[in-house]
């Protein structure tokens, strides 16, 4: 396909899963486009050449003159928009968008849009289960697994529940969600953002044009600056105000509640820990704003067992319970897991944490406090394991060179009534192909004990 100087020439920047989905979408629409990737051998290149032999693919350092020919650059989430070649193209008049905008231009069904530093996937999948339990034809997509453009290969759904990363939101202008939320904000991806403020602003783009919002009353950073007329709901882990979701404690039992109305005892949930109570309340608030009936939501909540690799119950061995939280790829997620499971420990029970990996430039000092409170020991591994251990204060520490050895050491440290938790506070790419492979290695090592 030759380059044409029309007002309709697009360049997909960054291949991989999302870039390939964008290319297939544009090819189907008959829009002239090319693809650029800074890697010499980008994933998806073979499929692209096979399916679309006429589409130009430029690999290697971005060429500003080439990018400058497009009226629109469609960025994959992995590509930072502040790269000089991209900024030069923007200065020459190219607009920036991503797969979310392409999707939103095609559908008319309402969207529930969810972001946050942690728990996005749990809340997204839970809201999807609630909608399904109510008999709604729902599509769950975005950062959680199915690229949004692949959803267009099926008939349009009645509702979409979408998990969005800060990277996706950077290039999103046309979301206009039925309900939007930022679940929580703690520093993450500081290797990508100039400052915490930039990361915060990327997250808050989710609220643009939203018809209703849900805020976490326990996290000031989730509160949007919005016109007065936009309906707001909220949740927190205290006693709920009128029309808000929270917890009511009565006769030794804790209930999920809406205002003064008790909805469901926490003991009826299969997911454990205060962070999962927050997830349940967030899902209820989002579902309510989107009009999902309460009985269906409560039914889905009771059936929900959680996502793989996210504080997932693995096994009990010699009175020690093992939890796989391999998805704890940043410090905030691991702090939430430590606090959440720490609160469920029996008298005398403690936590043994397995952590470490690629720290993405983060500090680990926030782990010290929950480890002091709940920890029996720490087994550390990976590139930044020793740095993590150094930030964790005075606790029994051991280093491991493999997941098998880490699990064996943790099992030796633990006593009956304890929890062994894999929640690495780091990315996995120094030792594994991704957090699922790391979680599988943990599960395998636990089963082999």
Question: Looking at residue 348, which CATH number applies to its domain?
Answer: 3.90.190.20
143 counts as catalytic: yes
Q: Which residues contact 281 (CB under 8 A, 6 or more apart)?
A: 235, 236, 237, 245, 246, 247, 256
Q: Would 198 be classed as within a structural domain?
A: yes
Q: Say whether both 120 and 78 belong to one domain.
A: no
Domain membership of residue 17 as a residue range: 10-97
Q: Exactly one of 81, 173, 189, 262 is catalytic; which is it? A: 189
Q: Say whether both 230 and 251 belong to one domain.
A: yes
User: Both tokens of residue 264?
Assistant: 């469901």
Q: Say whether both 77 and 169 belong to one domain.
A: no
- The C-alpha atoms of residue 15 and residue 38 are separated, in whole angstroms, by 9
Helix (H), strand (E) counts: the chain? 16, 20
Q: Say whether both 73 and 43 belong to one domain.
A: yes
Q: Would 192 be classed as within a structural domain?
A: yes
Q: Would 357 be classed as within a structural domain?
A: yes
Q: Would 2 be classed as within a structural domain?
A: no
| Pick from 308, 407, 307, 394: nearest CA to 355 | 407
Antiparallel, parallel or unpaired: β 95-97 and 396-399? unpaired
Cα torsion 188, 193, 195, 198: sign: negative
Q: What is the CATH number of the domain that holds 248?
A: 3.40.1190.10
Q: Say whether both 16 and 161 belong to one domain.
A: no
Has this prediction a pTM greater than 0.85?
A: no
Q: Say whether both 400 and 323 belong to one domain.
A: yes
- The C-alpha atoms of residue 319 and residue 306 are separated, in whole angstroms, by 22
Q: Exactly one of 10, 118, 143, 204 is catalytic; which is it? A: 143
* Other residues' Cβ atoms within 10 Å of the Cβ of residue 225: 6
Q: Say whether both 148 and 218 belong to one domain.
A: yes
| Domain count for the chain | 3
Per residue of the chain (449 residues), give pLDDT as tens.
Answer: 334 444 689 999 999 989 999 999 999 999 999 999 999 999 999 999 999 999 999 999 999 999 999 999 999 988 988 899 999 999 999 999 999 999 999 999 999 999 998 878 899 999 999 999 999 999 999 988 788 999 999 999 999 999 999 999 999 999 999 999 999 998 776 677 778 888 889 899 999 999 999 999 999 999 998 888 899 999 999 999 999 999 999 998 999 999 999 999 998 888 888 889 999 999 999 999 999 999 999 999 998 988 888 888 888 899 999 999 999 999 999 999 999 899 888 889 999 999 999 999 999 999 999 999 999 999 999 999 999 999 999 999 999 999 999 999 999 999 999 999 999 999 999 999 999 999 999 999 999 99
Q: Exactly one of 120, 204, 327, 397 is catalytic; which is it? A: 120
Would you state the pLDDT for residue 403?
98
Burial of 107 (C-beta count, 10 Å sphere; 0-12/13-18/19+)? middle
Q: Would 195 be classed as within a structural domain?
A: yes
Q: Which of 77, 97, 117 is the last residue of a domain?
A: 97
Would you state the pLDDT for residue 84?
94
Q: Would 369 be classed as within a structural domain?
A: yes
Q: Say whether both 108 and 250 belong to one domain.
A: yes
Q: Which of 67, 97, 127 is the last residue of a domain?
A: 97
* Other residues' Cβ atoms within 10 Å of the Cβ of residue 378: 25
Q: Would 149 be classed as within a structural domain?
A: yes
Q: Say whether both 134 and 197 belong to one domain.
A: yes
Q: Which of 274, 303, 332 is the last residue of a domain?
A: 303
Q: Say whether both 152 and 70 belong to one domain.
A: no
Angle at 77 between CA 385 and CA 324, to 5 degrees: 40
Q: Say whether both 184 and 297 belong to one domain.
A: yes
Q: Say whether both 48 and 16 belong to one domain.
A: yes
- Let me know: does 350 contact 375? Beta carbons within 8 Å: yes
Q: Would 88 be classed as within a structural domain?
A: yes
């Amino acid at each position: 396909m030759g380059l044409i100087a029309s007002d309709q020439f697009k360049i997909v920047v960054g291949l991989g899963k999302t870039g390939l989905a964008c290319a297939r979408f544009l090819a189907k629409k008959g829009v002239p486009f090319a693809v650029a990737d800074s890697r010499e051998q980008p994933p998806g290149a073979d499929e692209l050449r096979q399916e679309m032999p006429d589409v130009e693919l430029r690999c290697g350092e971005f060429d500003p003159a080439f990018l400058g020919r497009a009226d629109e650059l469609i960025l994959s989430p992995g590509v930072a928009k502040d790269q000089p070649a991209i900024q030069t193209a923007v200065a020459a008049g190219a607009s920036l968008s991503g797969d979310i905008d392409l999707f939103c231009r095609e559908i008319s069904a309402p969207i529930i849009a969810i972001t946050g530093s942690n728990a996005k996937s749990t809340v997204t999948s839970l809201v999807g289960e609630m909608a399904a339990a109510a008999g709604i034809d729902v599509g769950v997509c975005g950062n959680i697994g199915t690229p949004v453009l692949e959803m267009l290969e099926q008939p349009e759904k009645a509702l979409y529940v979408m998990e969005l990363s800060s990277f996706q939101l950077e290039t999103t202008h046309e979301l206009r969600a039925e309900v939007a939320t930022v679940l929580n904000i703690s520093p993450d991806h500081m290797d990508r953002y100039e400052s915490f403020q930039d990361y915060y602003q990327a997250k808050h783009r989710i609220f643009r044009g939203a018809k209703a919002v849900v805020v976490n009353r326990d996290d000031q950073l989730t509160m949007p600056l919005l016109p007065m007329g936009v309906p707001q709901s909220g949740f927190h882990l205290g006693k709920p105000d009128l029309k808000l979701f929270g917890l009511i404690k009565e006769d030794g039992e804790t209930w999920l509640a809406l205002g003064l109305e008790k909805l469901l005892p926490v003991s009826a949930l299969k997911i454990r820990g205060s962070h999962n109570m927050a997830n349940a309340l967030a899902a209820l608030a989002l579902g309510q704003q989107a009009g999902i009936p309460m009985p269906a939501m409560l039914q889905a909540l009771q059936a929900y067992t959680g996502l793989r690799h996210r504080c997932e119950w693995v096994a009990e061995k010699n009175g020690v319970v093992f939890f796989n939280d391999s998805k704890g790829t940043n410090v905030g997620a691991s702090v939430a897991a430590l606090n959440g499971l720490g609160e469920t420990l029996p008298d005398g029970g403690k936590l043994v944490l397995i952590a470490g990996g690629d720290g993405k430039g983060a500090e680990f000092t926030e782990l010290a406090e929950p480890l002091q409170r709940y920890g029996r020991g720490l087994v550390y591994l990976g590139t930044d394991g020793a740095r993590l251990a150094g930030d964790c204060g005075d606790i029994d520490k051991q280093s491991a060179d493999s997941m098998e050895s880490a699990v064996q050491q943790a099992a030796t440290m633990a006593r009956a009534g304890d929890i062994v938790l894999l929640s690495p506070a780091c990315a996995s790419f120094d030792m594994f192909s991704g957090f699922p492979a790391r979680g599988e290695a943990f599960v395998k090592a636990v089963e082999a004990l």
